[in-house]
Structure 1
Amino acid sequence: MAEIVIEHVTKRFGSFTAVDDVHMTFADGEVACLLGPSGCGKTTLMRMLAGLERPSEGRVLFGGRDVTRLPPRKRNVGMVFQYPVMYPTLSVAENLELPMRHDRSVSTAERKRRVDEVLDVLDLRPLAGAFIEQLDAGSRQKVAVGRAVARQSEIVLFDEPTTNVEVNAKLQLIRAFKRVTKRLKQTIVYVTHDQTEAMTLADRIALMKDGRIMQYDRPQVLYGQPTTEFGGWFLGNPGMNFIPAELDSRGIHAPILAEPLPAPASPPRGQLTLGIRPELVRMTGAPTEGSVGAILVDQAIGIAGRYLTKAKIGETVVKVNTDGRPPAALGGAVHLSVPRDRLMLFADGNRVS
Structure 2
Amino acid sequence: MATDSTAVLRRAARRWAPTGRILSAAVPALGVYAAVRLTGILALAVYAWTTGKDPVALLGHTWDARWYASIAEHGYGTVVRSRFSDLAYFPLLPGLERTLTAVLPLSVPRAGILLGWFSALAAAWGIHAVGSTLHDRRTATWLVILWGLWPNALIQTMAYVESLMTALSAWALYAILTGRWLWAGSLALLAGLARPNGFAAAAAVITAAVLMMWRDPARRRSPGPWAALALAPLGWLGYVAWVAVRTGSPTGYFAVQRAWGSEFDFGRYNLGFLLRLVTTGGVVPQYLAAVVVLAAPVALFLLVRERPPVPLVVYTTVLVVIALGGAHYFASRPRFLIPAFPLLFVAARWASGTRKQVLIPVVTGATALSCWYGVYLLTASTVAP
TM-score (norm 2): 0.24
Q: For the pair shown, which has the larger CA radius of gyration, 1 or 2? A: 1
More strand by share: 1
Q: Determine which structure has the larger helix proportion and give its number.
A: 2
